[in-house]
Chains A and B, each alone.
Chain A
Amino acid sequence: MSATSTGPTGWKRALGLVPFAAFFFLPLYAMADFSTRTIQGLGRTLNGWRNLIADPQIYAAILTSLGLAALTVTLMLMLLVPTMIWVRLRAPWATRIIEFLCLLPLTIPALVIVVGMRDVYLWVVWIFGESALTLSFVYTILVLPYAYRAIDGALSSIDVKTLSEAARSLGAGWGTTIARIVVPNIWSGILSAAFISIAVVLGEYTIASLAGYQNLQVVIVTIGKADGMTAVAASLATLLFGFVLLLTLSVLTRGRSQTLTPEPLDGSHS
């Protein structure tokens, strides 16, 4: 636990936080207000929110985006977790390469990826069909930087080598070692990676719109042209859902920030 750093406390802090709170909460309040207005401006209605389920277009888009999120998380975990564990155990020379590749999507904007992926996706569509779910391939790339950091942080906090050697010496195969020994110990990192990936996928617009797929954000924009109320309701719903997701994550990982490394002998730690 780090010592609390310098910073104002008490009423000075409260005073400083007020303008920020106002700036950030006003648009959210406005969204809540806007999405429950009737057209004439009198009274309240939940039509905008009801449309999230009643309107077939939005409902289908919500399902599509949720499906995309699930697929992306699965793909990302299947790709990243074994690779990163393996790198730590057997191929440490690849650490820098993997790190560079995983952080590369931060430098290559989604806009560039969607322009350059046209040829690749002609093949993807030919093999897998034109369901929007094929976007999960490129979405996995988009979430790599965040997922990598989360899982890497968790892997750094446990001694993978010792654990796996112990497991192997007791007769466990590689599959069992990874699945039943290492993974439960990096669970907070995996959860963190999964939740952030879900947030990114649900909010993704660039690639879906320019590649011509109908995911949640694309449909929100389309609907926004005709029915502002429902579009704002959908946007607020996504924000609230993401907030609940990330708050849950921070609650779940609260007790797991303890490290398992031995204390340094000279007692010097912050």
Chain B
Amino acid sequence: MTMSFTRGSVRNALPLVPFFIFLLIFLIIPTVSVVNGSISQDGSYSLDKLAALSDGAAMGALLKSVLLSAVTAVIGAVLGAVLAWLIVSSPPTSVFRRVVTSICSVLAQFGGVALAFAFIATIGYSGVLTAWSKSVGGPDLYGTGWLYSVTGLILVYTYFQIPLMVIVFLPALEGLRVQWREAAVSLGATSRQYWTQVAGPLLAPAFLGATLLLFANAFAAYATAAALVSQGNPILPLMIRTALTSEVVLGQAGFAYALAFEMIIVVAIIMVGYGLLVRRTSRWLQ
């Protein structure tokens, strides 16, 4: 709908200005700073910092981040979908369902430090499960501290990926109408055929989209990793931490900008994919 430029239009746009300015200052400018910081060097533009991203250590961190995110996204997606399927049969207003969705919201949002300590309390050096296992002669769960490495991160990330999946995927499962199943059955479809030819294709975009969201979530996650891994920079976010706070290798603030820029690119690509898949989902599963 085209509108000509009138005084009224300016008056209509004016109350939106505070919002735009706020976002400009606290979101757009930091993002632009990161991009600008990663392609400039002492005042002029240069690609040196971006070139540093192809260094062995930086590439390794990127690969490990991608691996960690992919693994936890897939595990979280599959297990989360199963959990969602298990609770979808309760009506949305039942106590059980509301309690479960509240728990999922808390675990998905809080994440970070609290979960790191939860796992330290469970399978850390003096963790509850570790001590119990020792007392019944079971395996040494602590080992050489695998919890504080990428392997440990996979376990802990899964803990908040599953609830996130439940929150994101539940609406899609809800959209699966009982009538469709009844219709399929009445046309002679077996349960297997229903799942592979009706429900499967309908849920696939939502499932894939949710998996991508989980990937982005794990990729950008910092707090959990920072609380667990105090030595080493196996993944990208921790490498940014070192670049900003190291007292041994100095002058790395610029490298931090380049790493942050890399993060934006990866997450942006994933989120674009997610957006496309969400649009496909919303066609059928209102």
Contacts and interface: CB of A to CB of B under 8 A. Distances in A.
B117 A231 contact: yes
Contacts of B89: 4-9, 13
Contacts of A202: 110
A191 B5 CA distance: 38
B263 A220 contact: no
Contacts of A106: 216, 271
B178 A5 contact: yes
Given A5-B89, A29-B128, A196 B105 contact: yes
B80 to A, nearest CB: 10
B18 A246 contact: no
A108 to B, nearest CB: 6
A243 B15 contact: no
Contacts of A34: 121, 126-128
B117 A224 contact: yes
A228 B29 CA distance: 39
Classify chain A's interface size. Answer: 35 or more
A159 interface: no
A104 B16 contact: no
Interface in A55-105: 79-80, 82-83, 86-87, 90-91, 93-94, 98, 101, 104-105
A10 B8 CA distance: 61
A224 B174 CA distance: 42
Nearest to B107: A24
Contact of B128 (A30, A140, A205): A30
B31 A112 contact: yes
A5 B29 contact: no
A111 B117 contact: no
A250 B85 contact: no
B144 to A, nearest CB: 19
Interface majority SS (helix, strand, loop, mixed), chain B: helix
Interface of A: 1-9, 13, 16-17, 20, 23-24, 26-31, 33-35, 79-80, 82-83, 86-87, 90-91, 93-94, 98, 101, 104-113, 115-120, 137-138, 140-141, 196, 199-200, 202-206, 209-210, 217, 220-221, 224, 228, 231-232, 235-236, 238-239, 242-243, 246-247, 249-251, 254, 257, 270
28 contacts: A3-B177, A5-B177, A5-B178, A6-B199, A27-B115, A28-B118, A33-B121, A34-B126, A101-B20, A107-B264, A109-B220, A109-B222, A109-B263, A116-B34, A119-B29, A119-B33, A120-B26, A202-B110, A203-B109, A206-B112, A209-B226, A217-B112, A217-B223, A220-B114, A220-B117, A228-B126, A243-B102, A254-B93
Interface of B: 1, 3, 12-13, 15-16, 18-20, 22-23, 25-27, 29-34, 37, 79, 82-83, 85-93, 98-99, 101-103, 105-107, 109-115, 117-122, 126-129, 159, 162, 173-174, 176-179, 181, 199, 216, 219-220, 222-223, 226-227, 237, 240-241, 244-245, 256-257, 260-261, 263-264, 267-268, 271, 286
